[in-house]
Structure 1
Amino acid sequence: MLCWGNARDGQLGIGAERNPAFEPRNCRVFSGRGLKEAACGGQHTLFLLHDGSVYACGANSCGQLGHGRDGSSPGKPRGGRFGPAASAPAEMLPCL
């Protein structure tokens, strides 16, 4: 997968690099892992793998990374498997 653009919050998934990527760069974290889809927000990104794993990276001021903590978490995406969504109000969330 190739990525480029603003990396200020770690949303490109290329590690702790925070400088803009002005040309496409290889996002090696998913090499050989079967990336199925990517959903890009303004400051965060979600990745869905063929095995059902979901990874998130980038800004997290409203919990949009889904790892249960507030605050930005730049760098390598965090992974997890998701079942049926709980019935709870939500705002500013990404969808795959």
Structure 2
Amino acid sequence: MSVNVRIPTILRTYTGGRAEVPAEGATLAEVIGSLEENHPGIAARVLDDQGRLRRFVNVYVNDDDVRFEQGLETATPEGAGVSIIPAVAGGC
């Protein structure tokens, strides 16, 4: 399945500055694998050392937060939009 992945500014160094890139996969895990094949190094910024989504990275398939779906096994249907959004922390 072909999907479009929206890349946050901080990760665009891996995609040659592109804000959106295509990827293949029936699940989020496969999509991240496809991203890594075409944009080496990006998976390490999204996944931790155990291969799980990093705690401070939010990922959406269409409008669904994968933390409340099936995580890396969340289905990515043909034409879906996948958004990688780093959490922003701050304060006074």
Larger fraction in helix: 2
Same fold (TM over 0.5): no
Higher CA-based Rg: 1
Name the structure where strand makes up a greater proportion of residues. Answer: 1
Into which bin does the TM-score normalised by the smaller protein fall? Answer: under 0.3
Using the size of structure 2 for normalisation, the TM-score is 0.27
